[in-house]
Copies of this chain bind each other. A is one copy, B any other.
Amino acid sequence: MTLSPEISILMDASGKVVSEAQLSAIRNLHPSDIAEALEKSDRTPAQIVEILVQIGNHISSKAFAQLSIETQEACLSAANAQTMLRFVENMEPDDRVDLLKAVDTEVREAIMPLIAQAERNDIRRLWQYAEGTAGAVMTTEYAVLPQHVTVAEALEQMRLQAPNKETIYTIHITDTQRHLLGILSLRDLIMSKPQMTLDRIMETRVISVPSDMPEEEAANVIAKYDLLALPVVDSENRLLGIITVDDVIDILEAENTEDFQRISAVIPFEEGYFKRSLPRLFWNRFLWLAVLLFTSLVSTTIMEMNSDVLHQMVALAFFIPMVTGTCGNAGTQSATMMVRALALGEVQPSDFLRVFRRELFMGLALGLALGLMAYFRVFLQDRHILLSGTVGVALLATLLAANLTGALMPLILKKIGLDPALTAGPFIATIIDAVGITLYFQIAILLIHVL
């Protein structure tokens, strides 16, 4: 897709958006496109706010809501509270609380008194839910009706509620204490006879989640049952809010990003690649690299301990990268597959024995095939039974160990409550280096004695 001229105006860093004609062209853009263009431009936060104010009307509020939380935070800190009030008030309740939690205390204290009383109470209510839980991503702007109204009255009510609700396609039926009695889709409402009361047509077997459920589990519930909205309830089944399907995509993508980062031994961070400052990114990467560097010294120590054998036969060293590399790759394969299968719920920690059997066979098959290939490759070149035998047998043994470690470690981590993604990638590779080199020398020594 090429950028439209209106978007390039937004990306041009030359200060004000000038003509009225240009402004009205920008107002014709989708708020998501305006937000994207502003994100990618070199505008300062103060300039972004100025442009949004010039755009005016409700489009600018929608565009502000679509900005990344880092940019929203910078805007809120750069402009005065009175200017920002409209943008903050029009945000979705859950995003608004995230933003207010992110900004400095003085910025928050400047804007809070300006916010309307009802909204302020809503912020306080949502404030209590820990980040990453269903409570923290739910919205409180849900459609709700009592059970004894008729279908005709309900339709009229929905007409009135629609402007202020995030969705009216799922209607929640509660009693006066907000206990969730049932749900009803707008589709079913429309298809029902006007004089029926809601308690006769509502679905009473409601799928709901507690507010402290991790957000990714709640997202998986929505994905599994193809819901448009999922009610969040307290321990007494009182309706607290709903999670909508568009939040699910964001939650799942964030979760996947975290898995990718963990797999590649980067301390997870939430900003986009260009948004994260270099010094911060340095620490996200350096800490794990340093830990892994010291872990890899185990391999050095093992080689130092075996320096006699190595002096006897320097050629042994030539094939170490092949053995450790190939086995590291096999371990990465099985670990990554298992991390993914756990994330998608295809495999549970209780499947331990089943996975063990499968990966035992797989490790043997891969080890035999690759070990034979390595044996012939070394033998054909060096005609050296001891060397080729050591390489072949070491590859088989190490690959079997690597494959089982890679497959079972994620299950064990999940079982004890850690993120399985921690085990894949560099971690597996570094551990397998040490295991592989140990086995390699043990097998060499053994074969020297035998042959």
Q: Select from chain B the residue with minimum beta-carbon distance to A421.
A: B260
From A96-104, A172-180, A288-296, the one touching the partner chain is A288-296
* A338, CB-defined interface residue at 8 Å: yes
Most buried by B among A32, A346, A362, A365: A346
Stretch in A48-56, A110-118, A134-142, A243-251 with 4+ CB within 8 Å of B: A243-251
- For the complex formed, measure the closest distance between the CB of A116 and the CB atoms of chain B, giving whole angstroms: 23
Taken together, the copies of this chain in the complex come to 2
Given A310-B314, A340-B257, check contact A285 B366 (CB 8 Å): yes
A358 touches B297 (CB 8 A): no
> Closest CB-CB distance, A441 to chain B, in whole Å?
12
Are the CB atoms of A299 and B322 closer together than 8 Å? yes
Closest residue of chain B to A36, judged by CB? B224
By the criterion CB–CB under 8 Å, are B207 and A30 in contact? Answer: yes
A144 → B minimal CB distance (Å) = 16
Residue with the highest number of chain B CB atoms closer than 10 Å, among A207, A264, A292, A319 = A264
Instruction: Compute how far the CA of A297 lies from the CA of B395 in the bound complex, rounded to whole angstroms.
Output: 14
A259 to B260, CA, bound (A): 9
A143-164 Cβ-contact flags toward B at 8 Å (1 or 0) = 0000000000001001100110
In contact, B289 and A370 (Cβ under 8 angstroms)? yes
Determine if A425 is an interface residue (Cβ-Cβ < 8 Å).
yes
A325 and B296 form a contact (CB under 8 A): yes
A187 to B185, CA, bound (A): 12
Do B223 and A249 have beta carbons less than 8 Å apart?
A: yes
Q: Give every chain B residue within 8 A of A222 (Cβ-Cβ).
A: 249
State whether A285 touches B362 (Cβ < 8 A). Answer: yes
A340 touches which one: B260, B346, B347 (CB < 8 A)?
B260
Contacts A333-B264, A341-B273, A366-B286 given; indicate if A318 touches B300 (C-beta within 8 A): yes
* B264 contacts A336, C-beta separation under 8 Å: yes
Known: A314-B307, A347-B273. A289 touches B326 (CB 8 A): yes
Which residues of chain B have C-beta atoms less than 8 A from A248's C-beta?
A: 249
A344:B190 contact, CB within 8 angstroms: no
Contact A266 B333 (CB under 8 A): yes
A and B contact pairs by CB, cutoff 8 A, 12 listed: A32-B224, A169-B186, A223-B250, A245-B246, A263-B336, A282-B365, A293-B370, A297-B377, A321-B433, A321-B437, A328-B429, A425-B425
